[in-house]
Structure 1
Amino acid sequence: MREERGWSRDVLAAVERTLVLLLAEHPADEPVTYAQLDLPRGRGRSIKQTAEILAELGLLHEQRPKAILAWIDRRTSTLPTGFQTDVRDWLSWLHAGDARTRPRSDTTLYVSLGAVQPILESWAPTRRHLREVTRKDVHAAVEALRGSRLSNAVTALKSLFRFATKHRRIFTNPTTQLHPGAHPYPERLPLDELTLKTAASAAVTPALRLIVALAAIHAARPQAIRLLTLDDIDLPNRRIILDGLARPLDELTHDALRDYLAERRRCWPHTANPHVLLSRLTAAGVKPVSTYYLKQHLLVRHQVRLDDLRADRVLEEALNRGPDALHLAVVFGIEESTAIRYAEQARRLINEDQHENDNKIN
């Protein structure tokens, strides 16, 4: 397993110490539980890799409780008392699903609770239970919201009260006539010089230079950057595959890749992780870096959004090559509707510039 996972000598030594501490007085015929696995924590221990070995040998008795379930209990315990049980059961239902409802992602749960929590808290002084909430209360709660906040709140409220109706927690559903409505996509404009300079100055490490190059030159999505593997790169022939689309490798991205791969080999020479980007947490496994890895390095530390760099690159292509939606879809592998939006925005900007030039001439 060491060779398969690319574990270093230090990781292997930590696993051996953890196994010795764990199994020294453990009955030979009994499997190990996660509760027991958590006991030998401290310096020089390796719980995650030890769990992988025990699971591989069939000696791990139970699965670790999902973090999302602990999050549900923790967050709902802070809600007004009368709403706690219903909201906890609703989130658990979203997570697990049922015969007619597919399970929702953890992100959906985070967004849903974030949307309804302030509304529930505003109802708490006058409403003790979901049964007491009226249609007027619901409409008043979302009246001042706009855009995605409105859409998220309406969607979450309808889901909550649909669950409560289905499980007979309430008598009537006050959200039946509530509709989120369509909110327009944000208008994209070329990034200003200050933002571009900030992005350039943020690229202070080989990893950051590669991330910025992929987003700003190839309009790569954050997920495509995270999932990029070594097999997707062909440095000698200067080709790269992003989101399943093969593209020529420009000089800047080629140099950024070469520098980062050298840094990668220096830091994790024995890793078996197939992904290009690695972190201290993923080098000993095979999973990609997390979405937070990109956010932490760019947004949190330097206030640079990859989505803004990506959008600026697509819009730049539309302005320089003409607002051709088909060309944008082929070059960047984006959906037809998305390509049309970029083309229309580029056309508006071109027309505005032309109008300003005509006024100056006149």
Structure 2
Amino acid sequence: MTHPTNRPFLAWFRELLPRNQQAALDRYLAATIQEAFAVPGCPLCYLLAQKERRSLESLLWEQVNDPMTAERLAAARGFCWEHTWALVPAGAAVHSHLGVAILLERVLRDAYRSSHTPQSLERWLVPEEPCPICKWLAAAEETLLWTTAELARHDPGLLLEQVGVLCRPHATALAHLAPALPWAAWETRVAHTRPRWSHLERLAHDAGRRPWYLPQPATLPECCPHCLAAPPQRDRSWDWFLHQREPYAEGAALEPCLGHAGGEDFLRFRAALAELLDDLAAFIAAADYRFRGELTQGQRSSWLRAIARLVGTVPSAGVHERGRPSRV
């Protein structure tokens, strides 16, 4: 048996179970996966996108003031690039971006207090924990793959005859888990149907699910100039981002994101970050029923500027993406 440190814990643990327990499936999850295969597209991408949205909406609705959530986000330096930008539609879904402002104000204030020099900022930019949403989704994805493998072992037609077709990344992961499944027939099916797919369907098949939200520099109140000049890379977020990338809008403010602040006038960078924190504090205070007055345009857009300042506007600028090798 492969040493457990070299394998996903869940796969190793299942090998230790009695055979009758290994074969047991969560009936509700199995039925959910089978239903997802009846919908066009990758069924696992579809289910993961649903979980991602529920997780973010629940976090903004129920956990903004939870101390454990605050600790996790402090250790993770917030979320990854993809899930930080996903706060835009998640906030819209719960009809308020107040929770976004509260969560990101804490993270940015921690960065401000911890980063008095470019060197200390660079140390802060190394997360101690993974993005919490990515962590939850990775566990869910492993369970989905294992359950799909068991279903397909009993009924190979799940992969070959249903409307839904696994994307290439999920098919590759499933093939590692269950190499005996009819993968040659699956490849033949994909080759036969691919010419009928639209460009977006091909992109979804090759790259995987589309991020919930992708920033459009032309519509943002501020952009990082270094992000605008960043060379493109290859991964799922970049593939989708490049598909819909629009030019920068002339006249928008140019402020370096945290990931690109090391080469800037650092005193000016800290002053701009302090100003953003003041605007966030005003935006949060305006939610109090005792608030009197009117917010400035900068204060009203502070939650969106906080997203751009924290992770930048390209997928390689976020805390969790800096230094990650590009996919070849």
**Length-normalised TM-score, structure 2:** 0.27
Higher RCO (CA < 8 A, seq sep 6+): 2
**Length-normalised TM-score, structure 1:** 0.25
